[in-house]
Structure 1
Amino acid sequence: MLHRLKLGVLLQWLILFLLSPVYEASSLGLTVHVVPLEENGGKTVRAHFSVITPSPCPDLLAVCAAREDCQAHRTALPFSYTKPSPAWCVRQWQKTLPSNYNTFLKLGFQTEFYVSIKADPKIRANNGKLNRPPFVALPPPLRASVNCPADFHISTKDLDGDNVRCRFARADTGECRDCFPHNFLELDEASCTLTFTGKAAAGQYFIYLMAEDLIPSPPTRQILYNSPLSSVPVHLSLTVEESASGCSSNPLALDGTPERDSVQFVLPFQEVKFNANYKSDLESVLEIAVVGPPDLYRVGFVSISNLAKLTMAWIRSENNLTQLLPVCFVANTKSFQSGLQCVWLYQREIRTLPDGTELRCNQTEMSLLLPVTSLTNVDLDELQLNSPTCPVTHNSTHLTAHIPLGGCGTKAVHSGTELVYTNTLKSVHHTMISRRPSLILPLACRIPGAQVKGPQYAVGMPTERETFGEVMVWLEFHLPGQGPMARLTSTPRFRSNFLSSRRFRRDTGSESSTSNSSTQTGLHVEEKVKQLDLYVMSNCSVDRAEMIVTECMESETEDFTDSHPIMEKGCMMSNNTLEIITEHKTSKIYRLDINTMAVSGTKMYIECKINLCIATMPSDTCPDLCSNSSSSSMLIDSVFTSTYSIRSGPVSLMVATGPNPSQTATMPGTTPPASQIPNVTSTNPNTNTNTTASQGVAPEVATSRITGVILMTIAMFLQMAILQ
């Protein structure tokens, strides 16, 4: 009886445990940007939260209670990525809080975290204004490898010009709960650089920091104890992974990527745009993970061979975000992560326009009338618009300008449901050094979306279909000197550095003659082919379009559990594969030397990954991935399709004689008769190949001119009837 009672109690506890919500120890990353509110002397602050949570992304309903001064940032452009596993996303909101704040917060059923803010109001002696706590940029979840030391620089800024110091949070002062230092992490407090020694087991670790601002001390004066003015929380996560590829294979940022901790100033309704360019020699870049302000555009991600690119853009519309907005990004491969890069967007403060200023907007232009009395000590002759060719006139009382909406450097940007035309009146000094005041005056005409007519309101990048057409790709296999490009393969010219063209011409000529004579006099039964031509074909007929084959592999099994690379990152892996030069830029032919390939059986399967490319300038070409001259500019100056992954059916490697080989049909999905190897092709371009490699689904391309399960069934039935 007692035993049953104990068992019942244990069962009840187990049910309660399983049904209760489970919370993680912490978020995968957190920062809080704190802005003191002037109306009550800084006793309350506006806290801007950015939190990284595991996927699936939790809803933001719980972060703003009823009657709270709170705003959740729900965006159509969520930050969501896959590395480290499991996938993760960013949630952002802002709310008014006491300047001294400590509490537990929850997001969904997976994430719970403790927040400690110390921002008591302090009046600064140098300007008589409230002190503003430091800003810390939130990086994507950090990654490192076992036994591979790594540095992580945490980017910080302070609007008051104070020094920013980072230190580990302390549980004894109420800054964190259940937090403890890791002996494999070191922190340079002055530079906010976290160092991973490499001496940690694989796993995920949480890091709790506090960022503080301190009044800078003069170089000639030592301050024994410089008390911090405020402290804000910083939570990070570090995922340590096993790696068998060494410690020097991280992706590297290339030219064109903004400098670390750089600042870009943004005027009202201005668009700021920049690229992140990376090179990864060992593994292809899977994603460029970004954490930034709401409505940051991330477009044009391309990962071709060892190069990757992503374009980011942000339009400053009317917003209640902080004056400093960080954008942090890293390149993730399967096993590695690049160094952390952060850029800061600085929303310039704009003074109110002087009395008497008029900016009128009509359907074709905006007209500016500005009193010159408001431009004290400003050289009026140095004022110009975005385009210096557009006139700006002035007299003794007013400055005037007529600015067409379709010229003079006027730009059109979207702000919510409105279309905004922007230009800037600014001083352009003609000398390198000038002590005269400068003027920067942003001009904007806002047109409600309901009033916008014509296609100009729906401006966007052309789709892949609009650029390249309805793309279809497939594989074909032919003996040398046969197939649709027999003229080129019978006396081929090779593009390769592995073996000389002369030697392979001699080998090819010998093989071709053997194939021709075998047709006339017969071959021994079941003789294995020595060379085979792989055709990678597309139906793209767009001028200046080019095919780029980034990867090919062969396997003797259909599931590719045991495979061998033929080509990686656009380069042939050995001298048993050569590219045949053709005049068709949207197709490729490769000569496979079967004798030297690691194929022991009588059939094989081939899988290739390709992109189509168009250089944006007529004088340019698409990148040669195997050339040392490849750079990020080639990605920027080219337009690419998504990655197409195409896989063949079984390809027979045997040839045999027969009384009338032309009467024997080859079915897809079966090993073709030996005599049919010249006709084993993948001419099924109607297969749906609009599948990118990142989705992990490869379209199957049959290796025969005849497709369909019904035909295959009929052929098998006829074969059985003949045998009987």
Structure 2
Amino acid sequence: MSFCTLLLLLLFVSSACASHYYGGTLTFTPKGRNPDGSFRVDIRYKETYHVCYSWNSWSCSSGNCGSYNNFQIGPVDRSSSGNSWCQSEAFMTRKIPSDKPFEMRSDTGEPNRSPVTTIPSFLRVPQNCARTYNLVAHDPDSDQVRCRFGSLSTECNYCYNYPGFHLDQNSCTLSYISTSNQRAHAFEIVLEDFPRQPITLSYTDGTSTVKSPLHPSRRRRSVWQTTTTSPPMITSHWPWCSPLSKIPLQFAIRVDPPVSSCTEGQILPLFLYPTPFNAETLSATVNQELEIRLNATATFSQVNNFIISGPLNITKYTTTHGQFAECLIRWTPTENDFGEHVPICFVAESKLGSSIYHSEMRCVIVVVGHTFGEANVICTENTMTVEVEKSSIIGLHEDHLRLNDPTCTLTSNSTHVIAAMSLNSCGTQLEEDDENLIFKNEITSFDKITDVITRKHEVEIGFSCVYPKKGQVSLEFKAHKIPYVFTEKGFGKFTYEFEFFSNYLYNSKVDPSNYPVEVVLKDMIYMEIKATSSLANTVLFVESCRATPYDDPSYHIFYNIIENGCTMDETLVVYSNNNTKYRFGMEAFKFIGQYDEVYISCSVILCQAGDPYTRCSRGCVNATASPVVHHHHRRSVTSETSRHFISQGPLRLKRSSDSTVSNMALNMNLVFIAGTLLAAVAMVCGVVIYKIKGMKVKYQPLPSNDF
């Protein structure tokens, strides 16, 4: 019996020991040989019961399963709403006498690793709402993973495929269409991994075997003749090939009574920014805390919880603000997690009366690496600067580095690579906890500025500045954005200021303490964008402006005010300007629906005055017009800066009552940053990940990793 089958049996034996079992999963990672010649295997498994259990009861049904010398277990998440449950994860290290189950792959030179997966073991869906669950089927070796229902006695207990549900084996998506049964449905699924090309598996006893990929194109077609006049019956036979490994995934979905609306964001929760998208890959560092922030809303129900499924020692902190709720997930990887691909899934939960509703399920993969790089972070009142020693990271070059905002480049001297920015520019993200404001950004590498993938060495260096919310008061920090600071070759350091004014004379700027700015529908709002540069003869160009209900210019709900240098809003008025100031106004409006605030984001460029070939000189470009072709001229790379996005807000519709409306932009608090900033904490965590296609995994005591 193969070890992968034993793993399924072990999980089944363990889960059968207690009632109210809701589900679980199991994955394994070979970790090489022990000093005594035995083989080490790390096993992680999850189990969900009616209550939390902390036992380690296993049986070996066949063969030599070895012994364990390390065992840890702890709760991942629990719930007392509706059907109470508790999911726990255990980590176990086993000593196996033979590597027969853990074959050495010819393509990687390393033992095969099983797929990784996880899932909240108890999910809910209204009877009348179709939903698709993208099951985590990630393979660290990049193998093809197939998901199927368990069919053997060693794979499942009920071995049942419920009507109204459909499992796509290749994409590992489970779709709920409809069913008449309002109850819990137990799913027992098996994940199998297959190589993408033929490989040879070798063992220490000298034997070997060949494994083939699972190719749909290799199916054989058979034609069965019938005795009737109907067309021949054609069936497809797929060549059977055994998987490299297989692991269990068991969970329950409860079909609840119908709901009046299946639209997410009304009764069913809707995820909002900055919640990660499904299937995102995140980087984490050994002994460095990883944070994942979730945000969800529902108009007619109250989002009051987030259900998570992740690794041992993961924690969550949930806060609610009316129709919105936020969750901060924290996890600190240990040395045992180095090199692991760790899945984390999450679901938002809301209540309406006694009814409970779930959002879609999203999952991310966290790749754990080591920390490298010597860096210094300088935090000031309005800016942060990070200096990274070139000698500490191999292949570090400023021409192939960027910040969260790809338009922000870095500078360097003979010893350091330097990034300087204001607290609200270059894609800097603002997070907060009960005591601090945390400004975060990251230096990453790229091949070309337009690329979204890379096959070269990847550098990721995260850094942050932490400011206490209360201290010696010298600066009030609210929603108002401070000047944006950028640095580019040929232009040096330059800033953009985006401000609201009280009248068309532009002699009364709205005080930062009065943000959010309250407006009345159809009243004029007056805005000014000002550029400041150490270079003379520069000109500011506002290429585009758009309004969004959140401080995210890429949010899917938006309204274009200026596009390609052309005015789009019929109420827009452009006032007298000069080369470095752009003043404009428009009538106030609000977004239709449950949106209380409006943010204005603009794309701006700074150019050298007098150069006829810059974007600034072209002005309004009609999308339907033919592009202007210039012959024998090439614009210098220092004639204009990159496009930079700046924003200001929020604008809020003035209420007839004096009731206070919370400000969602900064968790609705007026916070104070210590004037001396002595309490500010600079943090840097660099992850240098070397990804080289076709090479085996190598672990070296160098400031780089291959995996």
- TM-score, scaled to structure 1: 0.46
Scaled by the length of structure 2, the TM-score of the pair is 0.47
Pick the structure with more helix per residue: 1
Whose strand fraction is larger, Structure 1's or Structure 2's?
Answer: 2
